[in-house]
Each structure stands twice: as C-alpha cells, then as structure tokens.
C-alpha cells in the first residue's frame, strides 16, 4: 500500500509553518497497511501512529529530509486527509473548522449569539499547545551510549 504525505516546515523563531509543496510517497508493508486501515477514520490517531512509528521517522530522516537534521516539521496531509487547519487556523476560518475544533477541544458556546471571535481566540489558545504536540523534531536522537560517553568526559 502506498500512502502520500505532504508536510509543513516549522519555523521556531517565527512560530509559523511553511508548506513543503512536494508530495512524498511511502510504501507500507502488510502489517502497517492493516494498522493504517484501522486508524484512517480517526485523523489524530492516524497522525499519532505515524508520528510515533520508527519506520516513519526513519523514512523522513533518511528519504524525505536527509540534509536537514535539525528541521522541525509536521504532517499536513496523509493521503487526502488534511491537517492544515491545525497549522493555519485563523479567527476568520470557515465554520467547518470552528465546528471541528469546538468538538475536539470540548468548547461549548453559551449561546447562539456568542461572538465568533471569542470562540476563535479560545481555539487558538488550545492550538498553541496542540501544534507543539504535532511537531516532529528531526534532530538526531541521543542514545544512552552517547550520554554515558559525554558524562564520562
């Protein structure tokens, strides 16, 4: 099974994301394809599975961004499942995004007339934390052996 990915690149200084316009394709083995099929209907479970999988992180480090060891990225698209709203949400975003985040973050509107801007600010507050959870740091991981060598010196 082939899965297509698009990424956004995180700029830590500006706390902003820039789209990587390239579409990358990863071949999944049979076991990975089965897991994908189980998780594909729950966007954040699917995202987290990829983000926490060694095969995926190794693929990104070795094939997608081999020259950028200290880059921070996030997944913007998995096949046709979009995560862009997490990185580019604005107070003026469409109603569908408001509804998605109100449900995700358990935000209750007190009334129909409540100011959309207030809800948008609350969503943005929650997104500040959530975005950090979604970022994939491509910095080389230190191993226990490296730590003990460093501490011995």
pLDDT tens by residue, 77-87: 999 999 999 99
d(CA 12, CA 135): 11
- Region for 15 from its dihedrals, namely left if φ exceeds 0, alpha if ψ lies in -120 to 50, beta otherwise: left
Mean pLDDT of the chain: 88
Q: Is the pLDDT of residue 36 over 60?
A: yes
pLDDT band at residue 55 under the 50/70/90 scheme: very high
Which three-class secondary structure state does DSSP give residue 123? helix
Q: Is the pLDDT of residue 146 over 80?
A: no
pLDDT given at position 110: 65
d(CA 38, CA 29): 14
Q: Is the pLDDT of residue 32 over 60?
A: yes
Residue 82 to residues 45, 47, 66, Cα–Cα distance (Å): 14, 10, 24
Q: Is the pLDDT of residue 150 over 50?
A: no
Residue 102 or 150, more confident: 102
pLDDT given at position 49: 97
pLDDT tens by residue, 81-123: 999 999 999 988 888 999 999 999 998 876 655 577 888 999 9
Which three-class secondary structure state does DSSP give residue 1? coil
What percent of the chain is modeled with pLDDT above 70? 88
Which three-class secondary structure state does DSSP give residue 16? strand
d(CA 74, CA 53): 14
């Amino acid at each position: 099974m082939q899965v297509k990915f698009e990424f956004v690149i995180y700029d830590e200084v500006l706390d902003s994301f820039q789209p990587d316009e390239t579409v990358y394709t990863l071949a999944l083995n049979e076991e990975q394809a089965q897991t994908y099929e189980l998780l594909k209907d729950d966007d954040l479970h699917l995202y987290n599975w990829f983000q926490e999988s060694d095969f995926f992180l190794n693929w990104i480090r070795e094939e997608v961004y081999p020259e950028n060891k200290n880059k921070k990225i996030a997944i913007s698209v998995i096949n046709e499942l979009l995560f862009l709203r997490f990185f580019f949400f604005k107070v003026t975003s469409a109603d569908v995004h408001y509804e998605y985040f109100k449900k995700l973050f358990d935000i209750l509107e007190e009334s129909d007339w409540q100011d959309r801007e207030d809800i948008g600010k609350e969503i943005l507050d929650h997104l500040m934390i959530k975005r950090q959870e979604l970022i994939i740091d491509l910095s080389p991981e230190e191993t226990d052996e490296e730590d003990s060598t460093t501490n011995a010196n």
